[in-house]
Structure 1
Amino acid sequence: MARSDLRGPSADALADLTEKLGPARGIRAGVARLASRVTGHEDETTGSDLAQVGDDLFAVAGVLRREASVRRMVTDVSTEPRAKSGLVRQLLDGKIGSRALDLVADAVERRWTRTRDLADALEHLGVVAVVDSAGDDAQRLSDELFTVGRMLEQEPDLRTALSDPARTTDDKAALLRSLLEGRTLPATLRLTEQALRGTERTVSIAIEEYQKIAADAHGARVATVRVAKELSAADQERLAAALSRQYDRPVHLNVVLEPGLIGGMRVEIGDDVIDGAVSSRLDDARRRLAG
């Protein structure tokens, strides 16, 4: 479901649809901030509205993945675009909110490189909407997604339970809710549950992808920093500032402790790897000695 997986017309369509979602969420957020300054109270409708848009888009993506006949019908290039959007409005009117319905109707009028790309794009838009529902807690959301991903890596029993084909998706979602509800942002729980229903191979991979989407939605990049011992807050700030200058955009750090590195650090950001770990230098030395 990674945005980078979309090519040609699909990539162009997703970019346009993201722009259409963007102004709406920006206007809502601006109105909410103005209202809170005037009244002295936080406006909860913005977050809940966006969360509902996300849920609706996730639901439609799920239908398109399950129902091959519907998927073929709404991506058929021989069918007039207005006819496809009219059909979608007829099928979904009253079942999802008007904002999500407008986005889906717009989406089916566009060209898609592969039929599956439509569902992937709607899921991506749903993630962006849920991310924005967190409002000023977007940084916390990113941190919580990273923590959930680490928990899945470190708890093999939980990982096994979530990959067990004998358990239903609803059962797995209930298990996650029992662990996260009341301890994380609602947006974190929503995205973690959606990770069970998306197209990624594992929940961990989906959560990692969602964190990247969360960072990208706010103009940032994610760097995984592997270190042998804890970095101080000051060191993290300096590293984040240096990476932000290098990549010309904000960089969010995910710090992972790996004692096996001995010393130094390894930074992974996108396809780039900056390796200053002592263990890597020792491995290089051993390879050179082995000839």
Structure 2
Amino acid sequence: MRASSQAALDQARERWEPVLRQVGGRGVAIGEQLFAVVDLLDGSASLRRALTEPTRSGQDKAGLVQHLLGARVDPEVVDLLGGLVRERWSTDADLADAVESLAVTTVLAAAESAGRLAVVEDESYRLARILTDERELRLAVSDKHADPARRAELVETVLAGKVAPETAMLAARAARAPRGQPVPSLLRRVAELAAARREHVVASVTSAVPLTREQIDRLAAILRRRYDRAVQVHVGIDPAVVGGLRVQVGDDVIDATLASRLAEVRRRVAG
């Protein structure tokens, strides 16, 4: 997002946090309502423009939200959206992206109130890793030609009784409406947002062989010094890296694998 949209989202998050503490476990239902709003915005360019038009008064846009959604969603959702449309957005698409981010945050806050936030973080990361590694499953939940409801049903069936309810809901949502993003990326984003609520960052580490607890702790300490925050290290195994490690923290990638070094040598030899 550009600066004005990011500022609008940041302000909305700050206003939303006290509400999340009040609604507790009801956050899952509120999150579902927010996801439905995302679908509504994605399906109507004219509505997005009407709600982000800078020449239209904030009061008028908030009134439109009340007219369209007042009888269909909880009052907290109407208040949140009314505040969002009063802000300035760089593009109309940013409004839908912001509502989606707040929907995920709302579900995670519900998991937090139930004492399951750490579990959801870990499960979301593991699911992302599984989908990255298992091509057939990844294609099944990402098939653009399949009915979105069937993709979500597949995820729900696979995960039934095996993960926290919030994890299952967010994973099914990612399969139903990926909005142009790879499903594993969406699940990694869930893990990152959960980590942020727990006041640490996630390091996705790829190694050719399993790491010992001592090695993981040492790597976490190194990354903590670099990012000045606690770091949760998740390790995935991929023999293709040959040796060394590939570490990703958010958009930062540290590739110290033997495979990458050999590839660099080949590039230099070739030209």
Question: Do Structure 1 and Structure 2 share a fold, with TM-score over 0.5?
Answer: yes
Is the contact between residue 226 and residue 255 of structure 1 (CA under 8 Å) also seen in structure 2? yes
Percentage of matched positions with identical amino acids: 35
Q: Distance in 1 between matches of 2:108 and 2:153?
A: 21
Structure 2: which 5+ runs fail to align? none
Name the amino acid aligned to 2:223.
L
Instruction: Kindly report which structure 2 residues correspond to 1:82-97, keeping only aligned pairs within 5 A, or say none.
Output: 82-97=59-74
Counterpart for residue 16 of structure 1: 11
Name the amino acid aligned to 1:13.
A
Cα deviations by residue, 1:240-259 (Å, 9 ceiling, x for unpaired): 22211220112222211122
Q: Secondary structure at the match of 1:129?
A: helix
Q: Distance in 1 between matches of 2:146 and 2:156?
A: 15
Q: Distance in 2 between matches of 1:264 and 1:198?
A: 33
Counterpart for residue 101 of structure 1: 78
Shift of 1:264: 2.8
Counterpart for residue 129 of structure 2: 150
Shift of 1:117: 0.7
Name the amino acid aligned to 1:64.
L
Counterpart for residue 163 of structure 1: 142
**1:65 to 1:290, Cα distance in 2 relative to 1, 3 A:** closer
**1:280 to 1:204, Cα distance in 2 relative to 1, 3 A:** closer
Asked if 1:179 is matched to 2:158, the reply is yes
Q: Secondary structure at the match of 1:134?
A: helix
- Residue in structure 2 matching 1:137, options 116, 121, 132: 116
Name the amino acid aligned to 2:197.
A
Counterpart for residue 192 of structure 2: 212
Shift of 1:284: 5.1
Q: Distance in 1 between matches of 2:140 and 2:242?
A: 33
**1:282 to 1:120, Cα distance in 2 relative to 1, 3 A:** closer
C-alpha RMSD of the superposition: 2.2
Structure 1: which 5+ runs fail to align? 1-5, 29-44
Counterpart for residue 58 of structure 1: 35
Cα deviations by residue, 1:214-257 (Å, 9 ceiling, x for unpaired): 22333322211111211123322232222112201122222111
Q: Secondary structure at the match of 1:230?
A: coil
Instruction: Kindly report which structure 2 residues correspond to 1:1-291, keeping only aligned pairs within 5 A, or say none.
Output: 6-25=1-20, 27-28=21-22, 46-47=24-25, 49-135=26-112, 136-196=115-175, 197-283=177-263
**1:280 to 1:101, Cα distance in 2 relative to 1, 3 A:** same
Q: Tell me the TM-score normalized by structure 1.
A: 0.84
Q: Tell me the TM-score normalized by structure 2.
A: 0.90
Q: Distance in 1 between matches of 2:179 and 2:202?
A: 22
Pick which of 73-82 and 274-283 moved more: 274-283
Is the contact between residue 200 and residue 206 of structure 1 (CA under 8 Å) also seen in structure 2? no
